[in-house]
């Protein structure tokens, strides 16, 4: 059995991000193919007893419980998170326990929280995942939010998404700030890598992109027959375009869900969609820190493009592949 540890920077107040939409799953290579990284049993977690200056361990326990309830309430997914108790252990230790807690990491002045994993690389099973919340930040657990403070439940919802195997979504728009970071202008997913403005509680509610992602990882029994998918290929000059971001928009429901072209051939799959016709929009991650999404270099030199027609996500199946051609800027 092989073991692999990884660290995901999950949410920063000011960082770099991408202006579009998509959920991304964590994956690992097994025998040359990428498989999803998922839990194969209920997630049993502990809460660290350490308090932060502005929030207690009990506050954290409550925020995590509410966030866990939000993920478990997704009807199209089967997610189970079980609180096991408080612990004196800190998150980040390889001890066979999934621990969530505050850590004092003032040097990570843009990181609100992060999730690390222990993964069985033979089959992609998550064996342990720890989440830390950066204690020096001013946290809020007020039901209405607190001006100037970061909502703990919102960040917990994001981190639990990582803990369950979701990567970052690119469903959002940002703008550069004077300090060189980026400010979120708009967001369409809790799994967007940059947090909303301090004081807001908008990210306590999962968005369709998040729901599609978790339903893809842990589909409820009826999901394979009641939802559909869209497949296709993004090309530039006839060649596949790895990393192109494809957004599916349902004009009837207003739902936005996306994914990336994840192969060198530019193939993409957007799964767990409500059956119906979708408009497809392709956008580069051209103003993002690409390493928030990919560990390899990707081509971002192309213009926004649309599929030439609407594509139907059929119930219980996938669309015929559609090619979306883009051109250089």
Partner 1 sequence: MTVLRCAGAMVLVCLCAAGAGAQEAPALRPHRVVLDGGVHWSGGYPIGDATAQLRGNAAGNAPPPFTLFAARSDVTRATSVDVRVGFALTSRWLIEAGASFGMPRVGVAISADREAAAQALEGEQLKQYVVDAAVLWHLPVRVGARARPFVIGGGGYLRQLHEERTLLETGQVFYGGGGVRYWLRGGSGAGRAVGLRGDVRATVRRGGIDFEDKRRVYPTFAVHLFVAL
Q: Does 283 bind partner 1 (CB under 8 A)?
A: yes
The maximal CA–CA distance of the chain, rounded, in angstroms, is 57
Q: Does 80 bind partner 1 (CB under 8 A)?
A: no
Q: Does 304 bind partner 1 (CB under 8 A)?
A: yes
Choosing from 184, 261, 269, 288, the residue that interacts with partner 1 (CB under 8 A) is: 184
CB of 57 to partner 1, least distance (A): 29
Task: Find the part of the chain contacting partner 1 (CB under 8 A) among 90-98, 121-129, 167-175, 289-297.
Answer: 167-175
Site map (CB under 8 A) of partner 1, residues 186-205, x = contact:
xxx-------xx-xx-x---
Q: Residues 6 or more apart from 63 whose CB is under 8 A from it?
A: 55, 141, 152, 153, 156
Q: Residues 6 or more apart from 171 whose CB is under 8 A from it?
A: 20, 21, 22, 23, 187, 188, 189, 191, 192, 207, 209, 247, 256, 258
Are residues 150 and 13 in contact, defined by beta-carbon separation less than 8 angstroms?
yes
Task: Find the part of the chain contacting partner 1 (CB under 8 A) among 71-79, 213-221, 231-239, 252-260.
Answer: 252-260
| Residue 152 backbone phi and psi in degrees, to 5 | -65, -40
Look at strands 81-87 and 43-48 and give their pairing.
parallel
CB of 162 to partner 1, least distance (A): 20
Going by the DSSP 8-state scheme, the letter that residue 194 receives in this structure is B
* Cβ nearer to partner 1, comparing 5 with 316: 316
- Rounded to a whole number of angstroms, the CA Rg of the chain reads 19
Q: Does 226 bind partner 1 (CB under 8 A)?
A: no
Q: Does 146 bind partner 1 (CB under 8 A)?
A: no
* Contact residues for partner 1, defined by CB under 8 A: 19-21, 147, 171-173, 183-188, 196-197, 199-200, 202, 207, 228, 247, 249, 251-252, 254, 256, 275-277, 279, 281, 283, 303-312, 314-315, 317, 319-320
């Amino acid at each position: 059995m092989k073991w692999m540890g990884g660290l995901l920077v999950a949410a920063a107040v000011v960082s770099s991000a991408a202006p579009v939409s998509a959920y991304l799953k964590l994956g690992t290579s097994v025998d040359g193919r990428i498989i999803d990284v998922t839990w194969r049993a209920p997630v049993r977690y502990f809460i660290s007893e350490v308090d932060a200056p502005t929030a207690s361990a009990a506050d954290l326990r409550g925020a995590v419980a509410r966030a866990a309830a939000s993920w478990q309430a997704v009807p199209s997914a089967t997610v189970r998170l079980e609180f096991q108790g408080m612990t004196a252990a800190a998150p980040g230790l390889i001890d066979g326990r999934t621990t969530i807690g505050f850590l004092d990491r003032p040097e990570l002045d843009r990181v609100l929280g992060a999730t690390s994993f222990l993964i069985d690389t033979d089959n992609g099973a998550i064996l342990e995942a720890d989440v830390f919340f950066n204690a020096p930040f001013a946290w809020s657990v007020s039901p209405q939010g607190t001006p100037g403070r970061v909502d703990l439940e919102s960040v917990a919802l994001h981190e639990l998404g990582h803990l369950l195997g979701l990567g970052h979504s690119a469903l959002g728009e940002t703008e550069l700030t004077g300090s060189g970071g980026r400010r979120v202008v708009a967001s369409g997913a809790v799994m967007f890598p940059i947090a909303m403005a301090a004081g807001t509680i908008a990210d306590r509610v999962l968005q369709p992109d998040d729901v599609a992602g978790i339903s893809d990882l842990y589909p409820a029994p009826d999901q394979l027959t009641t939802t559909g998918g869209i497949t296709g290929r993004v090309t530039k000059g006839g060649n596949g375009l790895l990393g192109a971001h494809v957004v599916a928009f349902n004009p009837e429901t207003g739902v936005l869900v996306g994914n990336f072209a994840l192969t060198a051939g530019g193939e993409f799959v957007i799964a767990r969609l409500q059956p119906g016709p979708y408009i497809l929009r392709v956008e580069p991650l051209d103003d993002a820190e690409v390493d928030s999404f990919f560990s390899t270099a990707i081509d971002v030199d192309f213009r926004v493009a649309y599929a030439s027609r609407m594509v139907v996500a059929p119930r219980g199946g996938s669309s015929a592949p559609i090619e979306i051609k883009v051109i250089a800027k």
